[in-house]
């Protein structure tokens, strides 16, 4: 699991309080923590009797009901029976989030061209600023195969906790703030369990194989 430390708005003339060195140090610490967590979960599962082992790392994920950028709400209960993807971020993220969304959108369009059918959900970590209207306008820049989700601070806190996502509010000069957060695309199986991270960095060929396997496993269970 990788972590993203987002700088402030690109138009801001004042220097960001986090230097590149401190951002790298913070990222390494968070990556180590995340890897340790995954290792503990994997080790625990490995020592379970085979009949008791979960088919996925179901410790990650949980039910949610959030406002959709397309109008209305998305209830995770309605997603049962089909795999889906989840990605956390915020609309004022200047670089990493929009780049990942664009890359993910291209991948999903390629997957659809190969006969695949998969939806992704972009959950904001900044519900105070990312209202349903803001999310609707923001998501218009990306494929409609990705739906933006928002909700109350309590709802977002709950889904963030369930997905074991990291988020930290970082103050900026002038009273503004940015967010330091987990950067990972979660692959969720047909039962809403965590099937693993989608590896966009390895290239679309491998990522497409991951998506095909995710959907095929859903059909076979």
In a domain, 39, yes or no: yes
Confidence (pLDDT) at 60? 93
In a domain, 12, yes or no: no
Confidence (pLDDT) at 110? 95
pLDDT along the chain (221 residues), means of 10: 41 37 40 41 35 54 96 94 96 94 96 95 98 98 97 97 95 93 94 94 93 86 57
Confidence (pLDDT) at 220? 65
Confidence (pLDDT) at 94? 87
In a domain, 187, yes or no: yes
Confidence (pLDDT) at 58? 58
In a domain, 77, yes or no: yes
Virtual torsion, Cα 198, 199, 203, 206, nearest 10 deg: -70
Confidence (pLDDT) at 1? 47
Range of the structural domain that residue 97 is part of: 2-7+18-220
User: Do 76 and 65 touch, CB atoms closer than 8 A?
Assistant: yes
- State how many domains the chain has: 1
The torsion angles phi and psi of 51, rounded to 5 degrees, stand at -65, -20
CATH number of the domain within which 105 lies: 3.40.30.10
In a domain, 191, yes or no: yes
In the structure encoding, which two tokens stand for residue 66, read together? 């959030």
pTM of the model: 0.75
In a domain, 192, yes or no: yes
In a domain, 95, yes or no: yes
In a domain, 29, yes or no: yes
Confidence (pLDDT) at 41? 40
């Amino acid at each position: 699991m990788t972590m993203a430390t987002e700088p402030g708005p690109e138009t801001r003339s004042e220097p960001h309080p986090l230097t590149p060195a401190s951002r790298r140090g913070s990222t390494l610490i968070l990556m180590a923590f995340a890897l340790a967590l995954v290792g503990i979960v994997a080790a625990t599962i490995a020592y379970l009797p085979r009949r008791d082992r979960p088919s996925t790392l179901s410790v990650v994920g949980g039910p949610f009901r959030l406002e959709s950028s397309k109008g209305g709400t998305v209830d995770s209960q309605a997603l049962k029976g089909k795999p889906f993807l989840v990605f956390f971020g915020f609309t004022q993220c200047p670089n990493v989030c929009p780049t990942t969304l664009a890359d993910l959108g291209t991948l999903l369009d390629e997957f659809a061209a190969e006969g695949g059918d998969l939806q992704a959900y972009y959950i904001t970590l900044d519900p105070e600023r990312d209202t349903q209207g803001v999310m609707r306008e923001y998501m218009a820049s990306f494929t409609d195969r990705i739906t933006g989700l928002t909700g109350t601070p309590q709802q977002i806190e709950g889904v963030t906790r369930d997905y074991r996502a990291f988020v930290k509010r970082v103050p900026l000069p002038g009273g503004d703030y940015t967010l330091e957060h987990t950067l990972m695309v979660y692959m969720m199986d047909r039962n809403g369990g965590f099937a693993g991270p989608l590896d966009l960095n390895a290239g679309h060929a491998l990522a497409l194989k991951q998506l095909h396997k995710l959907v095929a496993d859903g059909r076979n269970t």
